[in-house]
Amino acid sequence: LYETYPPAHARRILDKLEFHYTPVHGSWLNMAEIEINVLSRQCLDRRIPDAATLQQEVAAWVGDRNKKKSQINWQFTTEDARIKLYRLYPSIDD
């Protein structure tokens, strides 16, 4: 930003940004995809006539999931990762 804008303007833009760490290999993305799949199967498995109804349906589904404290059963363990992604994990035995 500082290379493109004057310092005061760049600082105003920077103050509006919020940075979030995201893992390089995307396990968070897999969990998001799982949740979207559940939403599709449980809530969006029919024709919804308009955007307002869609918002109501999704809000009700989210409320129910939160009330039940639904969780994803993440089964990809560190050991699985070491096998599947062996090139990314250094060997301790060497």
State the pTM of this model.
0.50
The rounded distance, in Å, linking the Cα atoms of 86 and 80 is 9
The answer on pLDDT for 79 being more than 90 is: no
Q: Count how many domains the chain has.
A: 1
The answer to whether position 10 is within a domain reads no
pLDDT grade, residue 75 (50/70/90)?
confident
Q: Which domain holds residue 78?
A: 27-88
The answer to whether position 57 is within a domain reads yes
The answer to whether position 8 is within a domain reads no
Q: Which amino acid is at 49?
A: P
The answer to whether position 5 is within a domain reads no
The answer to whether position 2 is within a domain reads no
Per-residue pLDDT tens over the stretch 35-74: 899 999 999 989 999 999 999 999 999 999 999 998 877 7
Give the chain's radius of gyration (CA, Å): 21
The answer to whether position 83 is within a domain reads yes
The rounded distance, in Å, linking the Cα atoms of 60 and 43 is 9
The answer to whether position 84 is within a domain reads yes
